[in-house]
Amino acid sequence: MSEIKKIGVFTSGGDAPGMNACIRAVVRTAIFKNIEVVGIRQGYQGMLECNFWDMTARDVGNIIHIGGTILKTARCLEFKTAEGTKKAYENLKAHGIDALVAIGGDGTANGADRLSRTFDIPVMCIPGTIDNDLNGSDFTLGFDTATNTVIEAIDKIRDTAASHDRLFFIEVMGRDSGCIALHAGIAGGAEAVLLPERETAIDELIEKLSSQAKNKKTSSIVIVAEGDKNGGAYHVAARVKEKFDFYDSKVTILGHLQRGGSPSSFDRILASRLGFAAVKALLNGRTRQMVGLRGNAIVLTPLEEALNISHFKLEDDLLEMINVLSI
Ligand code: F6P
């Protein structure tokens, strides 16, 4: 592998709180080590359009606390074609970029893996997605902040639910992952959580809500992950209402507000650690790794392993605990 002189950094896929803190860490670590850094705006789209920004340490000042991504982001179909990947590589080479740090979710890492394997350019991937669905890290950037945003919403909804004796169905993001739903469900004291990873029969949910009502509960909150197989919060609410009309019920879809906002201290620290480690790993000759957190240690996981999400498991004890604590 030839010596690295100029690193490209980009964000891709859905934005996540903490991405800016991570860009800051990558840019400043590289500059500290006398490596030039180029910000690639709009991810893979920006590679195809040569949307490059030669960055200085000052360009990443005053962004550690800001949500979103100063490099912008996009979902790019053209890059997925063989011609698109080749064009992106040629543009990178023409700009003297000889290694990449990719910040994003599984789509971003898959793209970086393909680019690196096809053209032998070193890449490091940093898990940046609110979904927490990558195998190379206990936590992805943005998950903690998004979960806190959901909890804040649950707390507010709980006030009105309790005042009116209502049943609320709150739909949260996560694509095929139930991590936000599960963690926010615990921290928000939800009565039930519906997840993509576990099928919940509507009859089972009704039975649970009935037994809680018999136990003198007058209001309830059910968290529905967007990927749940029952078809979303509106559908679940309608089916519950058909057979169980004890409560006046309402639906809230939290949507994209979960992606915004100032990153939590956890996400800022994680972002800084991962960005710092990614540059050091590239300079140490490593490539095609996911830089992640395991326990409290920063670890590198080969991309093929990190992207094999069939290894990813929700903690069963947490689900069991929700059932116990919501009686
Ligand atoms: O991957 C992050 C995420 O917010 C998912 O939770 C959600 O399913 C998806 O992105 C929404 O994507 P978009 O912003 O393109 O609608």
Pairing outcome for strands 289-294 and 297-302: antiparallel
Residue 254 has pLDDT above 90, yes or no: yes
Please tell me the predicted confidence (pLDDT) of residue 312: 58
The per-residue pLDDT for 218 is 96
pLDDT at 309 (0 to 100): 66
For 177-186, write each residue's pLDDT tens digit.
999 999 999 9
Model confidence at 31, in pLDDT bands (50, 70, 90)? very high
Partners of 289 in the beta sheet? 124, 302
* Residue 141 pLDDT exceeds 80: yes
% of the chain residues with pLDDT over 70 = 98
Spell out the long-range contacts of 154-157 with Cβ–Cβ below 8 A and sequence spacing 24 or more: 154/184, 154/188, 154/189, 154/190, 154/221, 154/223, 155/188, 157/221, 157/252
- Categorize the per-residue pLDDT at 1 as very low, low, confident or very high, splitting at 50, 70 and 90: low
User: CA-to-CA distance for 85 and 78, rounded, in angstroms?
Assistant: 8
> Hey, whose CA ends up nearest to atom 14 of ligand 1?
14
The pair of three-digit structure tokens given for residue 294, joined into one six-digit string: 């395991």
Residue 2 scores a pLDDT above 80: no
pLDDT at 316: 81
Query: CA distances (Å), 260 to each of 20, 66, 151, 255, 294, in order?
Result: 12, 9, 14, 10, 25
Within 120-246, residue ranges assigned H as helices are 143-164, 179-187, 202-214, 233-243
pLDDT tens sequence across 88-115? 999 999 999 999 999 999 999 999 999 9
Residue to probe by mutation, ligand 1, list 131, 172, 183, 195, most atoms within 8 Å of CB: 131
Confidence check: pLDDT of 200 > 90:
no
Please give the pLDDT value at position 315: 81
Q: What is the mean pLDDT of residues 226-255?
A: 96
Residue 130 alpha carbon to ligand 1 centre in Å: 9
Q: Is 131 a catalytic residue?
A: yes
The pLDDT value recorded for residue 310 is 60
Average pLDDT over residues 135-153: 97
pLDDT digits (tens, 9 = 90+) for 305-325: 998 866 557 788 998 899 899
Q: What is the pLDDT of residues 70-83, one digit of tens each?
A: 999 998 999 999 99
Ligand 1 mutation target, pool 149, 175, 176, 309, most atoms within 8 A of CB: 175
Comma-separated ranges of CATH 3.40.50.460 domains in the chain: 144-259
pLDDT(189) > 60: yes
Nearest CA to ligand 1 atom 6: 174
What residue ranges line ligand 1, CB within 6 angstroms? 14, 105, 129-131, 173-175, 226, 259
Tokens of 144: 């903690």
Residue 171 has a pLDDT of 98
**What fold characterizes domain 144-259?**
Rossmann fold (3.40.50)
Between the CA of 175 and the centroid of ligand 1 the distance, in Å, is: 7
Q: Of 15, 131, 133, 267, which residue is the catalytic one?
A: 131
Which residue matches tokens 């007058």? 218
Q: Which one of 45, 75, 130 would you pick to mutate in the ligand 1 pocket, going by the greatest count of ligand atoms within 8 A of its CB? A: 130
Sheet strands side by side (includes 166-172) = 192-194, 220-225, 166-172, 248-253
| Ligand 1, atom 11, residue with closest C-alpha | 14
- Distance (angstroms) between ligand 1 centre and the Cα of 148 equals 17
Closest CA to ligand 1's atom 3? 14
Residue spans in the chain of domains classed CATH 3.40.50.450: 6-142+263-310
pLDDT bracket for residue 144 (50, 70, 90): very high
Give the pLDDT band of residue 87 (cuts 50, 70, 90). very high
CATH architecture of 6-142+263-310: 3-Layer(aba) Sandwich (3.40)
Condensed to tens digits (0 to 9), the pLDDT of residues 201-238 reads 899 999 999 999 999 999 999 999 999 999 999 999 99
